[in-house]
Amino acid sequence: MATDLYDLTVPVFIRGLRNLSAILEKGAAYAEEKGIDPLTLTQARLTQDMAPLAAQVQYASDSAKGAVIRIGGLDPVPMPDTEQSFADLQERIGKTLAFLESVPRDRIDGREDAQVVLRTPRGDFSFTGRSHVLGFSMPNFHFHVTMAYALLRQAGVPLGKLDYLGGL
């Protein structure tokens, strides 16, 4: 039985990015309320060798759009990683959401067994559409959304599990 690969990707990415947007709104409001320079939060790291909050948002965006582009054989949607402010990060999420909402279902469904190649500086990794989604894209996307949540939570932003999960 075929999986509806679209349903496993696009709506999940959209929901996660909308939840991430709401988390960032709370981060911006917290910075304003407490008189904290917002860059202190957008550049926060869990540890020195880990990417800051802004990069976590960029990586979540790249994970979502990259998965759909690779699976659907779509043209790349370049987004330079220049965002620093909460407003910049919200704009990036908005662009990513607009792209995801434009992807036709028929470009994703039926591609479970299609060859997908992820090209990285460390080499190329081959997957099927299904294994790319389930074994790489989804875990990677959720990792970066979780890191963004954790960075703001660690900084004192009043976030809870339902902020991560979104409206149920």
DSSP 7-48: HHHHHHHHHHHHHHHHHHHHHHHHHHHHT--HHHHHT--SST
User: In sequence order, what are the residues at sequence separation of 6 or more whose Cβ sits closer than 8 angstroms to the Cβ of residue 36?
Assistant: 30, 155
Which domains can be identified in the chain, with CATH numbers?
Answer: 5-107+128-165 (1.20.120.450)
Give me the amino acid identity at 39.
L
Query: What pTM value is reported for the model?
Result: 0.95
Residue in the block written with tokens 């299609």: 114
Beta bridge partners of 127: 116
Per-residue DSSP letter, 53 = H
pLDDT digits (tens, 9 = 90+) for 41-65: 999 999 999 999 999 999 999 999 9
Query: pLDDT (tens digit, 9 = 90+) per residue, 109-132?
Result: 999 999 999 888 999 999 999 999
